Amino acid sequence: MKKTAILLSAICATALLYVSCSSDNHEETVSTNLTNIGASVAVDTSNEMDLSTGLLISTSTSTTGKTTETAPGVCATITISSPNGTEYPKVFLADFGTAGCTDANNLTRKGKLKVTLSGPIIETGSKMTIERIDYSIKGIKLEGTIEYTNTTITPTIPQWTRKVTNGKLTDLQGGVYTNSGIYTTKQTAGVDTPLVLSDNVYEVTEGTHTVTASNGEMLTLTVKEPLIKKYSCLFISKGQLKVQGGILNGVVDYGNNDCDAIYTYTHENGSSFNLSM
């Protein structure tokens, strides 16, 4: 019989995952591993957040000609430089401060994001590299590099690869989750307004990332159904990930395209857990 864990305000180890557990012994065993799923989704979400920030910073400030700027919705001070004395590469250093600041989404960030553009990100072959420097979101420390490379073949269907290397998430309890992976992303809306981000919709069509906890437990998450990410939404709003690792074998489902933080993990035996970022 299928049982569903009801969403409660009991907070788990990642400080981003909320879940309750049923009384079924097998479900209790599964639920103890849901923290790894929560960490994995938190890793993916933070990558998307930082990618969105990188796009916003580079799009809203790249044409001003100033060396110091601010971007709407971003509480950081942004310094712009061209290290070779040419238009590209162009470096944007977003400094959120050591004490941190709270952005338009009520997220407190600390540290710095270094965003390097090899060329306009809307041009095939251009790459945006995002490096995290003593950086955290809501106290969760994030490390690693995101490479976002334009691989467009058909101009009306822009696409990119998003590669994460040396990724690491350290939660509020000191739990460490290393991660890496690569996704293919296509833009399905907003193509006709390249300097406007708010109407953009992206579709992650394929890819896999792995997350390894400090105890050696590894999860592999593979795109099962395309993930829909609206730029105007903080979280992925639709799509599915196949989850495999340890006793976990199931599917993460992001829902029906609503801009909310809720998703569901369904185990292979039919047990279902409602979760939230």
- The model's pLDDT over 225-241, given as tens digits with 9 standing for 90+, comes to 999 999 889 899 999 99
Residue-by-residue DSSP string for 17-65: -B----S-HHHHHHHHTHHHHHHHHHHHHHHHHHHHHHHHHHHHHTTS-
pLDDT, residue 61, reads 65
| Paired residues of 93 in beta bridges | 79, 114
pLDDT of residue 35: 85
pLDDT at site 64: 47
* pLDDT at residue 31 in the model: 54
Looking at residue 277, its pLDDT comes to 77
| pLDDT, tens only, 164-213 | 999 999 999 999 999 999 999 999 999 999 888 889 999 999 999 999 99
Beta strand 4-5 with 272-276 is parallel
For 131-140, write each residue's pLDDT tens digit: 999 999 999 9
Contacts of 271 (CB under 8 A, 6+ apart): 2, 3, 22, 24, 26, 27, 30
SS3 9: coil
191 burial (CB, 10 Å; 0-12 / 13-18 / 19+) is middle
CB contact at 8 A, 43 and 36: no
Average pLDDT value for residue range 24-29: 48
Q: Which of 1, 48, 37 is nearest to 274 (CA)?
A: 37
Is residue 16 very low, low, confident or very high in pLDDT (cuts 50, 70, 90)? very low
Rounded to two decimals, the pTM is: 0.85
Q: Are 115 and 143 in contact (CB under 8 A)?
A: no
CA distance 238 to 256: 6
Strands 68-71 and 108-117: unpaired
Q: Output the six-digit token pair for 73.
A: 């919705």
| Rounded distance between C-alpha atoms, residue 163 and residue 78, angstroms | 24
Given this model, what pLDDT does residue 177 score?
A: 96
Query: Burial, 211: exposed, middle or buried (Cβ in 10 Å; 0-12, 13-18, 19+)?
Result: buried
Answer yes or no: are the C-beta atoms of 80 and 91 closer than 8 Å. Answer: yes
Per-residue pLDDT at 120 exceeds 50? yes
Which tokens in the block code for residue 130? 């995002």
Residue with tokens 């097998």: 26
Report whether the peptide linkage leading into residue 89 is cis, meaning its omega lies within 30 degrees of zero. yes
